[in-house]
Amino acid sequence: MSIASNLEAINLEVKALGVQLVAVSKTKPNEDIMEAYEAGQRVFGENLVQELVEKYESLPKDIEWHLIGHLQTNKVKYVAPFVTLIHAVDSFKLLKEIDKQAAKNKRVIDCLLQVHIAEEDTKFGFDHAELIEMLRDEEFLALKHVNIRGLMGIATNTENEKEIKEEFYELKSLYDGIKASFYRKNESFDTLSMGMSSDYKLAIEKGSNMIRVGSTIFGKRVIKHFKNND
Ligand SMILES: *Cc1c(COP(=O)(O)O)cnc(C)c1O
């Protein structure tokens, strides 16, 4: 199967459901990205800052670049000039730095707050209490250069579908609760990023409206990247 036909197959499945597809191109060469681009794909996800910057500089300027991996505070400045959506905001400190760098670039940067839903401790993200605490914080409410678009999560890496579904259900419930309590009058809180190649069907079943799919489109990655790790 070619990249173009893989993309077509996924789009056929998800587009009618209103689910946005982020094509995860990490470790893949520019030629592969251009093949997807020629097939109409404009939204791409990367998880390493340096790789993202290099690809941004050498590829067409109408690509929307999403940073999907863990972001270190000291690297925010490199992506702030151009990034379209930051998926993995996992601390208040990071969000404040994004706000600061966005201001320097005279931008408002769209962000998703990453919630820790997996069993593994190794994964990043807020827990529920931390998240609610931040959403109520006056300092948070005063940030002018970040726009919170929704939540993101990564399920446990397991064959156990029941467990994965429970984790996605938990995140969808939290998303609905936060939307009702904190963003009722703010229509831009509209994005729930959950699901990757192995579990996007389950994620959509549980209410995802943005999926991050890499290997199903571009084939297996040769270089080992840790999930959501910088
Ligand atoms: C790599 C990655 C993906 C895509 O993984 P695939 O299994 O190749 O679809 C999705 N989300 C995050 C955060 C990733 O790091």
Q: What is the pLDDT of residues 28-60, one digit of tens each?
A: 999 999 999 999 999 999 999 999 999 999 999
The CB of 196 under 6 Å from ligand 1? The reply is yes
* C-alpha 105 – ligand 1 centre gap (Å): 28
- Please choose from 85, 114, 196, 210 the residue to mutate so as to test ligand 1's pocket, defined by most ligand atoms within 8 A of CB: 196
CATH architecture designation of domain 3-218: Alpha-Beta Barrel (3.20)
Per-residue confidence (pLDDT) for residue 230, from 0 to 100: 43
Per-residue confidence (pLDDT) for residue 1, from 0 to 100: 81
Q: Structure tokens of 95?
A: 């969000």
CA 215 and chain centroid, separation? 16
Q: Which helix (H) or strand (E) segment is 165 a member of? A: helix 161-182
Per-residue confidence (pLDDT) for residue 49, from 0 to 100: 98
> What pTM did the predictor assign?
0.95
* Cα–Cα distance, 227 to 218 (Å, whole number): 17
- Domains of the chain by residue range: 3-218
pLDDT digits 0-9 by tens, 152-194: 999 999 999 999 999 999 999 999 999 999 999 999 999 999 9
Per-residue confidence (pLDDT) for residue 122, from 0 to 100: 73
The CB of 212 under 6 Å from ligand 1? The reply is yes
Q: Structure tokens of 1?
A: 């199967």
> Residue 223 pLDDT more than 70?
no
